Chains A and B, each alone.
Chain A
Amino acid sequence: MKRVLVIVLILAVALAPAIVFSHDALSSKELYIGEDTLLSKYIDDYANLLESRDEDISKYEDMRINRKNTFYMSKSLASQENGILQVDFNIENKYNSIKSRESQLEIDFRTSFVNLYTFKQAAEAAKTEALLKASEYEAGKKNNISGYMSDNELLQLEYSVLSLNNSSLYKERQYESALRQFNFKLGSPLKYSDYQFDFNESVLEPLILDFYIDNALENSSTIKLIQQKLEKYYVEQKHYDVYVFSTNLSYISDALRDLEINVRIQELQLEQTKMNLIENISNKYDSLMIEKEKFALAEINIQRFKLEYETNYSLYKRGYIDKQELSDSENSLSDAKNDYVILIYKYNTLVKSLENDCAYYLEESGS
């Protein structure tokens, strides 16, 4: 099973450079993840570790056991067993790094992609606002000359124009920076229009909190690292327990005492890490539930703008308002619908982020 995975991973790495430039063939997300150098390194390292596994294990199996006395023999046997264990720990940890990185990249992609879109929208809105104010200012100048507007009022208008221009420029730069960063991750200089923005998704239903906590306690890399350390200490203890040693010899009593202290430190750290993990995941889960409640708000907003549009449509038909006002109302409704779609997309990203924190990707990949 692992060998098949290695072949697939090696193929993926080998083909990566070839597919970078065929943007049409791959989605932005695949490019974003495929171009990551750290992920490539993890994949290479993992493939190497798997390939050298038998050789690495045989080094420990062939290890010379020091038989100077029973203590040294126990120590040697523990080193041998721990060495073999470490070979598989390294493979497991590297595999976890790959899955964690992939998951993190997907979250980063989703966040950056939606940011790119919203920054562009904000930049365009700010530009329109600045242009409208500029035309208001032009009209104001004429009014000032005709004596319908005071100098102070005109000055205030001029200030608003300058302020909105600054804001528009700031938002334009924010968008340009987001585009540069996004292109940097993709490794290809694309234009905004080259990207296909589609945030339509169905709502991801999170599982119950206990499930995530259990998963995190079992698969979190921080917990795993401590457990691996502990497992190796327990192996040492197991080998030392076979014989009764003379504790009069300081090198023996020192080694046994150091081992005992290290076991206790790791046990306490495991306990502490578990508590922190449970607290963090519970907090994140609570935040997720609150985000979900915001759907109802967005729905009310749509309803509100829909009613407003219907009223305005009726007023427009009867000639009470002009087409521009109706069009503004239509845009507000369209924005509210768009906000709803983006809200779901962002919520789904949070669900994925929670899954990432709980190392749920391992569960999904069947590891």
Chain B
Amino acid sequence: MKIKIIILTLVLILAGSVVLGLTLVNLTQQEAYDAAVENNTQFEIDALNLELKQIAHDKNLKTASIPALNNYYGQLAKYYNPLISETNLIAEEAKNEKSLKQMEIDVIAAAINLENATLGYDEADMSLIEATEAYNEAIKDSETTSADVQLSKYNVESMKISLHQTKNSLDSAQRKLDGLVGMEGAAVQLPNEYSDPYDISPEDAYEIALLTDISVYQSKRSAEAEAVKFEIAAKFYDEDEDTYISALAGLKSADLSYEKTLISLQMSVYDDISNLKNKFDSIALAMLNKTIKSNAYIAAKAQLAAGIISSASLENSEDSYIASVKQLNTKIHDYILSSMRFKLDYSYDY
């Protein structure tokens, strides 16, 4: 009976020393991250796109440096276009920097997914063993009806399919992690430490996010650029002319968009903090549940020894305990991932 617990513990602690006969490459989080950054094609694409943005900005700066024609388009080329290309360049740089950090989360998420898939596979494997035992007993038992034998057979076939499904999920999760770090049979140590979201000050988090958020920066700069454009339009066109009206509309739209981005950011900061607190609280509940299930399991062992309960009851108790350990593990990992995303999205550490 202890086999299940031993298997589970091994899976959780070692995160898979050997899975299905495949030799694993155990990596620390840092090693996995470094390998993923090295292996990722997207970073090369991002770097090339950044180069294109830099070129476009340099061209605009060059054009702006020479005396401009004193008309609407000449003034736009001198004052408006460089602002836009500079915004695009800085936003692209920030986006690339965020992608690099995002990779750390992607690696951890893939490793957690692999761990869950491994547990799912082990569980399906055990269920198949149990269903097969029940089927063999049903065949031997002369009192079992043919229809019930068929039902047992159905359960076995159903478990075989589950095993196949979980095996596919396991393979897919392994391929995903391998693809990220660029090596076969990768295994990554999972983080288990986490901080308390009740330490977060929503006001401080919002203040910091305001200074670092890419979309806020982009919409602010866009509003500034539209103001410049409107100023130029006002210089060369009358109020009833299309260009003037269009520039004014562009300015108002950019201002509104900026306001909307600020509100949206504030909402998401506050919502995300609430979500973090919910997830954090659910860890405490899962811990309590684990303690209860552990106590019940210990008591059940004593009761079995005293002949009060059957071995089937002990097994049920053991299953409940194992499920509570898995649940706690899932909750912790879910919280850690959300916490990492929060820190990355708002550049706020806690």
Which residues does A use to contact B, with CB under 8 Å? 254, 257-258, 261-262, 264-265, 268-269, 271-272, 275, 279, 283, 286-287, 289-290, 293-294, 296-297, 300-301, 303-305, 307-308, 311
B147 touches A290 (CB 8 A): no
Residues of the B chain whose Cβ atoms lie less than 8 Å from the Cβ of A301:
154
19 contacts between A and B (CB under 8 A): A257-B55, A269-B45, A272-B45, A279-B175, A286-B171, A290-B168, A294-B161, A297-B154, A297-B157, A300-B153, A301-B154, A303-B150, A304-B147, A304-B150, A304-B151, A305-B147, A307-B146, A311-B145, A311-B147
Question: A301 vs B147: C-alpha distance in the bound complex, in angstroms?
Answer: 9
Which residues does B use to contact A, with CB under 8 Å? 41-42, 44-45, 48-49, 51-52, 55, 59, 145-147, 150-151, 153-154, 157-158, 160-161, 164-165, 168, 171-172, 175, 179
Q: Which residue of A lies closest to B45 (CB)?
A: A268
Question: A296 vs B157: C-alpha distance in the bound complex, in angstroms?
Answer: 8
Question: A300 vs B52: C-alpha distance in the bound complex, in angstroms?
Answer: 62
Contacts A304-B147, A307-B146 given: A265-B158 contact, CB under 8 Å? no
Interchain residue pairs A-B with the least CB separation, the first 7: A304-B150, A307-B147, A308-B147, A286-B168, A300-B154, A307-B146, A265-B48
B158 touches A261 (CB 8 A): no
Residues of the B chain whose Cβ atoms lie less than 8 Å from the Cβ of A275:
179
Question: A329 vs B44: C-alpha distance in the bound complex, in angstroms?
Answer: 65
Residues of the B chain whose Cβ atoms lie less than 8 Å from the Cβ of A287:
168
Q: Which residue of B lies closest to A294 (CB)?
A: B161
Further pairs besides A279-B179, A311-B145: 4, Cβ < 8 Å: A254-B55, A265-B48, A290-B165, A308-B147
Question: A308 vs B147: C-alpha distance in the bound complex, in angstroms?
Answer: 6
A271 touches B41 (CB 8 A): yes
Taking the closest CB of chain B, its distance from the CB of A269, in whole angstroms, is 6
Residues of the B chain whose Cβ atoms lie less than 8 Å from the Cβ of A308:
147
Question: A275 vs B175: C-alpha distance in the bound complex, in angstroms?
Answer: 11
Q: Which residue of B lies closest to A312 (CB)?
A: B147
Question: A271 vs B42: C-alpha distance in the bound complex, in angstroms?
Answer: 10
B49 touches A265 (CB 8 A): yes
Residues of the A chain whose Cβ atoms lie less than 8 Å from the Cβ of B44:
264, 268
Residues of the B chain whose Cβ atoms lie less than 8 Å from the Cβ of A254:
55, 59
Question: A297 vs B156: C-alpha distance in the bound complex, in angstroms?
Answer: 9
Residues of the B chain whose Cβ atoms lie less than 8 Å from the Cβ of A300:
150, 153-154, 157
Q: Which residue of A lies closest to B165 (CB)?
A: A290
Residues of the A chain whose Cβ atoms lie less than 8 Å from the Cβ of B146:
307, 311
Contacts A261-B51, A303-B150, A308-B147 given: A297-B41 contact, CB under 8 Å? no
Residues of the B chain whose Cβ atoms lie less than 8 Å from the Cβ of A257:
55
B147 touches A272 (CB 8 A): no
Taking the closest CB of chain B, its distance from the CB of A290, in whole angstroms, is 5
Question: A37 vs B342: C-alpha distance in the bound complex, in angstroms?
Answer: 43
Residues of the A chain whose Cβ atoms lie less than 8 Å from the Cβ of B172:
279, 283, 286
Contacts A293-B160, A300-B157 given: A261-B150 contact, CB under 8 Å? no
Q: Quick one: which of A271, A290, A303 contacts B164, CB cutoff 8 A?
A: A290
Residues of the B chain whose Cβ atoms lie less than 8 Å from the Cβ of A283:
168, 172
B154 touches A272 (CB 8 A): no
Q: Which residue of A lies closest to B162 (CB)?
A: A290
Taking the closest CB of chain B, its distance from the CB of A281, in whole angstroms, is 12
Residues of the A chain whose Cβ atoms lie less than 8 Å from the Cβ of B151:
304
Residues of the B chain whose Cβ atoms lie less than 8 Å from the Cβ of A305:
147
Taking the closest CB of chain B, its distance from the CB of A17, in whole angstroms, is 41
Question: A300 vs B179: C-alpha distance in the bound complex, in angstroms?
Answer: 40
Residues of the A chain whose Cβ atoms lie less than 8 Å from the Cβ of B160:
293
Q: Quick one: which of A262, A293, A304 contacts B161, CB cutoff 8 A?
A: A293
Q: Quick one: which of B42, B52, B164 contacts A258, CB cutoff 8 A?
A: B52
Taking the closest CB of chain B, its distance from the CB of A206, in whole angstroms, is 16
Residues of the A chain whose Cβ atoms lie less than 8 Å from the Cβ of B154:
297, 300-301, 304
Residues of the A chain whose Cβ atoms lie less than 8 Å from the Cβ of B150:
300, 303-304, 307
Question: A283 vs B179: C-alpha distance in the bound complex, in angstroms?
Answer: 15
Q: Quick one: which of B45, B158, B175 contacts A297, CB cutoff 8 A?
A: B158
Q: Which residue of B lies closest to A299 (CB)?
A: B157
Residues of the A chain whose Cβ atoms lie less than 8 Å from the Cβ of B175:
279
B45 touches A265 (CB 8 A): yes
B161 touches A290 (CB 8 A): yes
Residues of the A chain whose Cβ atoms lie less than 8 Å from the Cβ of B157:
293, 296-297, 300
Q: Which residue of A lies closest to B62 (CB)?
A: A250
Residues of the B chain whose Cβ atoms lie less than 8 Å from the Cβ of A262:
52
